[in-house]
Structure 1
Amino acid sequence: MGPFAKKNQNSDGYKPTAIPKALKVINGHKEGITMERLNNQARTMTTQEGSGLEKRIGSIFIHVSDMKRAVEWYSRVLDLPFNDDYLEERLSTVYTLHLEGTEILLDSNHGAAPGPQPMMFFKTDDIRKTLQFMKENGIVIHNEVLENNIVIFEDPDGNRLMAIQM
């Protein structure tokens, strides 16, 4: 050991005792800190103060007039598998499309008129590939703003959607 080295320290000044202390806190061994408390703190971080609402979207409803057509269209466009029972119109009036982080609920219960503005957007890594897919599949396109990496299109019910290359 060199003249400046201290007990429990290597030549770089690293104190290995700091790691066990950190592990004790993470594992809930330090007084007042438990895994339950850490989990509650994590839940609090995703909840809006006062309202109890989480800071994320749970589901998005899209009102459709023809469930079979909507399930086929969204499943094809989003490259998702689908439940054949919906195509034979044997199931309920709500169909769930599971996406990363949220879900889309196709709802044939209430006939809502489509709005003039896109209701949401989907991210794409290649806007030109996305646009080509839409054209090849006869999807109605309202606006191609390729210099800004945006394409506005609509589903079979006229609900406007957007694709953005990010």
Structure 2
Amino acid sequence: MKPILNKIGAIFIPVNNIEEARNWYCDIVGLQAGGEILSGHLYIVPMEGTSIVLDSKVYSEENIFKTPPFHFNTNNIKQAYEYMKSKKVELITEIENNHWFNFKDPDGNCLMVCQC
């Protein structure tokens, strides 16, 4: 057995305000915002598969993601794009190659939605 598994457990995202970030991320993925904020600075977004951990302790403008560290999956990229537009999310690309687009969270982290 190898000591390092071939599996991603969680992705940490630096956020400025943990409560606002929790509410925003839960809203865009269709979850009820709730659950415990751990140690006053961590919130685990309950995702299917790899977890997203929002962390306000590591936030600084230097730490925000300038390129997407992962992508959210969708079955319909056009519907996802219109949904994010309706949520007034800052879209930083159009739909590219009929396959993906990038956007920013309220803290300026660059993220992606991709049709799989």
TM-score category (smaller protein): 0.7 to 0.9
Shift of 1:91: 6.4
The alignment's TM-score, normalised by the length of structure 2, stands at: 0.88
1:92-116 alpha-carbon deviations (Å, 9 max, x no partner): 2100112122211100112233132
Structure 2 residue 17 is the aligned partner of structure 1 residue 66: yes
Q: 1:105 to 1:85 in 2, by over 3 A?
A: closer
Superposed, which structure 2 residues align to 1:12-161 within 5 Å?
A: 44=1, 49=2, 52-83=3-34, 92-112=40-60, 113=62, 114-161=64-111
Paired residue total: 114
What SS does structure 2 have at the residue aligned with 1:56? coil
Q: Which runs of 5+ in 2 are unaligned?
A: none
Larger RCO: 1 or 2 (CA < 8 Å, sep 6+)? 2
Gap regions ≥5 residues in structure 1: 1-43
Structure in which a larger fraction of residues adopt strand: 2
Please tell me whether the aligned partners of residues 27 and 33 of structure 2 are also in contact (alpha carbons under 8 angstroms).
no
Deviation at 1:68, TM superposition (A): 1.5
Once the two structures are TM-superposed, the CA of residue 155 in structure 1 deviates from its matched residue by 0.6
TM-score by length of 1: 0.63
- 1:31-76 Cα offsets, whole Å, 9 max, x none, are xxxxxxxxxxxxx4xxxx4xx1110111110010011210111000
- Rg larger in 1 or in 2? 1
- Kindly indicate which of the two structures has a greater share of residues assigned to helix: 1
